[in-house]
Structure 1
């Protein structure tokens, strides 16, 4: 039987991470080119840096949810054996897809946070080029939030399939600790 506590903790962490990812997308930094008082340098003025904190928070909460899920399921490969069949095959496929979506979500959230934290300082007029204030491209945090959502769904279904296969294994020969040599005395 799947643990309700594990499911609740994982879904709560994933939902909060999703919300932080969406908030980071809405609050990403915007910049304007502004000359200094002496008109010697142009510099970028950024309006907010809160999206970096939201992105990092989402990244850490998503990682925490994945750790809880993998600890509860013993990372699929450790612990007692699972009963062969559809539940185990489904759990294996979902395990792989959960990790893929998790890694994509983490990459998007990390890239968005790093890029949002990067601020172009200033450039003198003597360079002769117009100043480009670098900001996060629209949709980076949204992609991280979307893959966080996919990770949450796949992780929950993975844990249910894993639990079903684990519970079906029961005792020997799949999950027990005894050696099944009875008929071969």
Structure 2
């Protein structure tokens, strides 16, 4: 079996008031199929000199939109946080960078990537996703939202551990 390379991705967080927009990943997605998640796209870390430079990451979000969101223009508002972990079903190091994003119009989801989208509060996300295994993107967003006072507690329902793969 060939060893998988580490994964690097940017994550788009779209929020309004106390709600965040989540997308259901297609069953065809290699990582976390069928899971409610945030907008994301993998990238080669050599292609971005400074992940905190919004102009440098804008082309990644443009590619995400062209592939996954019907080409709707994406504005990258701010860099939020980042994290890295190998606690995932893929068994590889994953490094993610979260950004707050906005759209001028509703994205048109490409069902090859995302089959549905919905605005949820932290509590609604927790209820809807109680049985799903969450990845690093939701761990980062949950912690960030709690630290920034957007929620009164972390809201991630279930984090992957080795027992999940048994």
Q: Same fold (TM over 0.5)?
A: no
Q: Which has the higher contact order (CA 8 A, sep 6+)?
A: 1
More helix by share: 1
TM class by smaller structure: under 0.3
TM-score after normalising by structure 1: 0.20
